[in-house]
A and B are shown apart, each in its own frame.
Chain A
Amino acid sequence: MNEFDRPQADASENAVEVRDVVTRFGRQVVHDGISFDIRRGEIFALVGGSGSGKSTLMREILQLERPTEGSIRVFGRDLQSLRGADALALKTRLGVLFQGGALFGSLTVLENIGLPLREHTTLDPKLIEQIGTLKIALVGLPPEAGSKYPSELSGGMIKRSALARALALDAELLLLDEPTSGLDPAGARALDRLVLQLRRSLGLTVLVITHDVESIRLVADRVGMLAGGKLLALGPVAELENSADPFVRGYFQGAAATASRTVHPPGRAGEPGGGGPAIPRRTDDLWEE
């Protein structure tokens, strides 16, 4: 890979190519043959009811999990065969906002943002601090927030700080898991504008998982809707809102009425394994008697 034209080096024009992905946890089928592309420079929204496998798909793109079958290519590299230094190089081109923020509790916000810069670049500490401060301002936090620890922040501030960390390396592909949840409406719209601004200035590709229909309308070029393990619909928001499928149409209408109601596809609501990733979670001592 030639450093001097890194983003252009890959022939593929799609940032992400998902092909026939099947994911099973034990007996539960999360994805049952999903294929779609995310084009370069596109803001792609992935929607679907709770437990429809949106986050799992994101984790597979991030190489945190492997699909049971099928392939995923990111910037033209097949994740299945990617190992070692190549896998690492690809990871530095991704920026991730996890749902809960996943800020490191032992580091201040500024140190959290500086961590990828310290690890992956040659920049000196002073410049890293300045870049970190800039990112903090970009996500709409006051500069003083940089010297706070995550435990001293509110939920919304954690979200913004985590976004600032995801932006640290100016990654080419930004993956956002529920970026606007936990933010007030004004803050959510400001975040939408920031995403649009970054895309305009840096040509980012963005994959956003969200339940926020207004945010989808504002930022998303295309929307993919997951339900029942399949990609139920794919296209621009306007197209999905006027879809012939009442379920797809209903998602946007229903969501407009009640912000984030869990939506089940018709006839599948009672099916076992309809909710949540299937990793059985021991509640242990909690539910006794």
Chain B
Amino acid sequence: MASRPISDPAADTTVRLEGDVGSVRLAARWTVHQRLERAGELERRILAEIAGGVPIVLDATDLVAVDTAGALVLSQLADGLRQGGREVRISGLTDAQQSLFEMVAAHEHEPPAPPRVALARERAAASSLRVADDAISFLSFLGHVFVTSVGALIRPRQIRGRLVLRNLQTAGADALPIIGLLSFLIGIVIAYQGAFQLHRFGADVFIVDLVGLSLLRELAPLMTAIIVAGRTGSAYAAQIGTMRVTEEVDALRVMGLSPVDVLVRPKVFALLIALPLLTVFADIVGVLGGLLMTSVSTDIGPTFFLAQFPRVVPLESFLVGVGKAPVFALVIASVGCWQGFQASDSAESVGARTTLSVVHSVFLIIVLDAAFSIVFSIVGI
């Protein structure tokens, strides 16, 4: 569009006194692609050049192209002049132009006021109420999912096996490459940083403890959960949110299918299975990364590393790490699904809810992880 020359119809219009009539010979083109916003200039020019009391004729003889916007501007011009006490006539319109002017005149309105923007204190009040509402709504959703899940476990025929398997594929198996790569890198980083520090104390052998305990207890479960929250939780929110916007969720309800049964429970079950398995996978690959870096950067070889590993890393460290995974899985799946159901009727809200699902899951995961640490230290695991 940039290269198109833009004409100024107001400037191209000639204004002069012809006998006892003020003649305004309108420029040829008054369309949306001209500089219609300059019409005010023309009005000022007419008022300046044609004395009050002299009738004004807007002469449309040269007018070849006029669209609704042009007609609007011209009738506003005429109205403006009339309000200034002038007598105004438009002449020389073709029949088509005449009908356009009539159509525009019949539909002219003042623009409505824009939607009211809430005051700061109203927004603050509304948002705190919303937080409370959301908390209650989320808890009741969680309760509903939990109760129906228990029901499904009692009557396994209610478990939608194929859906669970499909979700296992997308949330579990498909996540293996990214989780493997990132855990491997984390293992390498831990070993590298640790080896450097421990070497200054001459405590090189403790590298095995460092890599093993930190990965198995904390880093592998945490990293895996955070990746899955970003990868799968967001997908859950977006999918359910879009289905709400397109009324697919309503269609399910009308067919007598519970959206929780069809959309939520298979996802929860799948993630409850997938996340612990992914955590075990992250443990293994992370430790392999640590082992590789230890062999490269210290005198400790892989044989010693593997021999030392079971002596310093107790089984319970592994169990503590993997044991956290189902809790994280429940958080990710339920937050993602719940946010999806909160989406209203626009693409924007689906986006906002998807973002919130990741933010809230990651927040809850880290808070819960901290709570686990405290509890475990109290009970002495």
Please list the residues of chain A having a beta carbon within 8 angstroms of any beta carbon in chain B. 1, 3-7, 85, 88-89, 92, 105-106, 108, 110, 117, 120-124, 127, 129-138, 143-151, 167-170, 197, 200-203, 284-286, 288-289
Contact = CB atoms under 8 A, between A and B. Distances in A.
Contacts, number: 139
B109 to A, nearest CB: 4
25 contacts: A4-B29, A5-B64, A89-B1, A105-B345, A105-B349, A106-B348, A122-B35, A123-B37, A130-B111, A131-B32, A133-B112, A135-B68, A137-B107, A137-B109, A143-B109, A144-B112, A145-B112, A146-B111, A147-B115, A150-B346, A151-B346, A168-B32, A201-B68, A286-B252, A288-B160
Top 5 A-B pairs ranked by shortest CB distance?
A: A105-B346, A137-B107, A201-B100, A170-B67, A151-B345
A288 B72 contact: no
A202 B67 contact: yes
A151 B113 CA distance: 18
Interface stretch (B2-10, B81-89, B147-155, B276-284): B2-10
A77 to B, nearest CB: 15
B122 interface: no
Contacts of B64: 5
Nearest to A202: B67
Contacts of A137: 107-109
Nearest to A123: B37
A149 B112 CA distance: 13
A231 B5 CA distance: 41
B374 interface: no
A120 B111 contact: no
Given A85-B3, A201-B100, 11 more contacts: A122-B37, A123-B36, A131-B72, A133-B109, A136-B109, A137-B108, A147-B113, A168-B32, A201-B68, A202-B68, A288-B262
Interface in B265-292: 266
A131 B109 contact: no
Interface of B: 1-7, 28-29, 31-33, 35-37, 64-65, 67-69, 72-73, 76, 96-97, 99-100, 103-104, 107-115, 160, 162-163, 166, 239, 248, 252, 262-263, 266, 344-349
A131 B252 CA distance: 42
Contacts of A202: 67-68, 96, 100
Nearest to A172: B67
B72 A130 contact: yes
Contacts of A132: 111
Nearest to B346: A105
A170 B37 contact: no
A109 to B, nearest CB: 9
Contacts of A285: 163, 166, 239, 262-263, 266
Contacts of B347: 105-106
Contacts of A4: 7, 28-29
Contact of B103 (A117, A129, A138): A138
Contacts of B114: 108, 110, 147
Contact of A201 (B4, B29, B96, B263): B96
B4 to A, nearest CB: 5
